[in-house]
Amino acid sequence: GIVSFQFVLTLVAASILHRLLPKRSIGLWLLSRGYVCYLPPSDEELLKCMKKYSQFSSRRSRQRRIHSSSDAVYQFSKQHLSFDLQPCVVSKNELIYLPFCDEFLWMIDFAFVTFIVFSCSELFHLLSPGRANQEVNLSVVWYLIMACICLKNMFRMTAVYFNFSGAKGERSLCIATGVVSFFIIMTLLLFSDQVLDVGIHEAFDNFTLTTADFYAMHDIRYPQVGSPATFYFNLSWMLALLSMLLTFPCFRLARTYKDALESNGLNALQRVALHFSLLGPCCCLLWCRPVAERLLESNAFFLLPHLDLGSARVLVVMIFVGFRLSTAGPCLQAYLNLAIKKIAKLRTEAGKISNKDLNAYISSVFIYFVAVANQYYAPPLFLFSVNCLLKTLGNYSWLPLNSQPTAVTPPMSGAKDDLWRMTSFSTIFNVTVNRGLWNVIVSTTCSIQFALSVVAIVYSSYFQTSAVGS
């Protein structure tokens, strides 16, 4: 019927997104649950730190009282800044005025509703698989929209570096990452039969065959079949663009990861979770053909014997996303603690700094807090959405049922032509095609995040060591 479970679930999810979340935003709750920022010092506190404060004449003191504190500009020696920053708990009223706040709230709230849709859909498939297979899975639309929202946020964050004239180094790093990623991805796709276990060649052949049958059934002249290299080229540059969007989120993750480990407020469990959140993308090795063949031969999934390798990959990626999201608190707090490190670094420098520049220097950490939160949450949420697409469109299951791709339905004739036309789209983009496409996207996303995070860790460690040595 028209009123199916998926239809009702979509209506309920849309109602939650439209009615409830604008009043009780999950995104605001995430960013206001105990994070501590640091306020810049007042002019009086700065003046008390100066050794020559007592030598000022009464005339100059009267002049300072005449001028407003917001207009007065003083010069201070950087080495005499012996004050402590005042901690302050982040509140919701302050967050809504920060840059990229609206984009972050929309992404988190939509991700929360998408997770509810995914959980209910999977529960429905487990309890009633026969009925679920007869309905149109509208949850796919939620996953696609979620992926687009994450891409849009990462694109806007990356576009800042290209619109700002002083970010030449950042632009060069993004472009270099994209170019290197393009050649690596193109090479891997061309030789994926020997290197990767993604099924992209089978997906292309299957898509070409079913498309030709569809054109022939409707008496339409089928155009000349394109070369697989053209398809791999287009797919490679799109994934290379994705690597450009993931560049600075991964570099930011590596920085906050190191800073969080250096803090003293973490217990052993949180440190283990931090390590897993950084090293989790190495699950991309599950798509390497030698590793996959070795796992199948050794029966590595003996604890979950009913899972095939494809379902195990989906499960491992979900676990990694959970670890990444669970460690957001220590990492974002480590970012806010940069204000203390900035002051400590400033005290080691020579020269003077004005009170206005000092306040802007410290306040910039909190001003870009939501932007950093965007960089932290967008990559794992994008990976979650494409992993859900792989799970749903790839017809993977947590149970032994429906664990293998379904065969392509041949064209029917006579009274069943109408049914064939209705299902032609799902026939062209069948399980084999979807498994090949989304396996490539999920494995590439994990590989890019892992590679960039490792490069960022090495980069920051090298320059930190060089700075200490100099």
pLDDT tens-place string over residues 419-430: 445 456 777 888
Query: Mean pLDDT throughout 345-359?
Result: 78
Share of the chain above pLDDT 70, in %: 82
Within a domain: 23: no
Query: How confident is residue 60, by pLDDT bands cut at 50, 70 and 90?
Result: very low
Transcribe 339-402 into DSSP letters.
HHHHHHHHHTS-SEEEHHHHHHHHHHHHHTHHHHHHHHHHHHHHHHHHHHHHHHHTT--SSSTT
d(CA 260, CA 250): 15
Q: pLDDT by residue (tens digit) across 436-464?
A: 999 999 999 999 999 999 999 888 777 65
DSSP 302: T
Average pLDDT over residues 218-245: 84
Local confidence band at 111 (pLDDT 50, 70, 90 cut-offs): very high
| More reliable by pLDDT, 398 or 11 | 11
> What pLDDT score was predicted for residue 387?
96
Pairwise CA distance, residues 279 & 283, whole Å? 8
Is residue 204 helix, strand or coil? helix
**Residue 255 to residue 458: CA distance in whole angstroms:** 11
Summary count for the chain: helices (H), strands (E) = 22, 4
Which pLDDT band, with edges at 50, 70 and 90, does 245 fall under? very high
Across 184-198, 212-226, 284-298, 441-455, least confident range: 212-226
Q: Label residue 391 left, alpha or beta by phi (over 0 means left) and psi (-120 to 50 means alpha).
A: alpha
For residues 209-234, average pLDDT: 78
- Assign 304 a pLDDT band (cuts: 50, 70, 90): low
Give the pLDDT score at 436: 92
Range of the domain at 165: 5-16+38-51+73-469
pLDDT at 309: 83
Which of 31-45, 63-77, 206-220, 295-309 shows the lowest mean pLDDT across its residues? Answer: 63-77
DSSP-derived 3-state class of residue 410: coil
Please state which of the ranges 238-242, 324-328, 415-419 shows the lowest mean pLDDT. 415-419
Amino acid at 32: S
Report the candidate in 348, 309, 162 with the shortest Cα–Cα distance to residue 244: 162
Which pLDDT tens digit goes with each residue over 171-198? 899 999 999 999 999 999 988 888 888 8
Give the tokens for residue 8: 């009702």
What are 151-167's pLDDT values in tens digits?
999 999 999 888 887 77
**Maximum CA pair distance of the chain?**
103
Q: What is the mean pLDDT of residues 358-366?
A: 85
Rounded to the nearest 10 degrees, how much is the dihedral formed by the CA atoms of 398, 400, 401, 402? 70
Is residue 22 one of the residues assigned to a domain?
no
In a domain, 337, yes or no: yes
Residue 48 has pLDDT above 90, yes or no: no
Radius of gyration of the chain from its Cα atoms, rounded to whole angstroms: 27
Q: Examine residue 65 and state whether it is found in any structural domain, yes or no.
A: no
Whether 28 maps to a domain, the answer reads no
Range from 32-36, 275-279, 297-301, 322-326 that averages highest in pLDDT: 322-326
Q: How far is CA 372 from the centre of its chain?
A: 11
Mean pLDDT for the chain overall: 81
Q: Given this model, what pLDDT does residue 406 score?
A: 46
Confidence of residue 407 (pLDDT cuts 50, 70, 90): very low
Look at residue 249 and tell me if it is in a domain: yes
pTM of the model: 0.88
Q: Tell me which range, 39-43, 109-113, 228-232, 270-274, is most confidently predicted by mean pLDDT.
A: 109-113
pLDDT for 418 equals 43
Total domains, the chain: 1
All residues at 6 or more sequence positions from 196 whose CB lies less than 8 Å from its CB, including other chains: 188, 189, 287, 288, 289, 443
Residue 30 domain-assigned? no
Three-state secondary-structure class, residue 396 = coil
Residue 24 lies in a domain: no
Task: Assign 300 a pLDDT band (cuts: 50, 70, 90).
Answer: low
pLDDT at 343: 83
In the structure, what pLDDT confidence band is assigned to residue 285 with cuts at 50, 70 and 90? confident
pLDDT of residue 225: 62
Instruction: Quickly count: other Cβ atoms within 10 Å of residue 405's Cβ.
Output: 20
Q: Per-residue pLDDT averaged across 2-16, rounded?
A: 85
Task: Kindly tell me if the per-residue pLDDT of 69 is higher than 60.
Answer: no
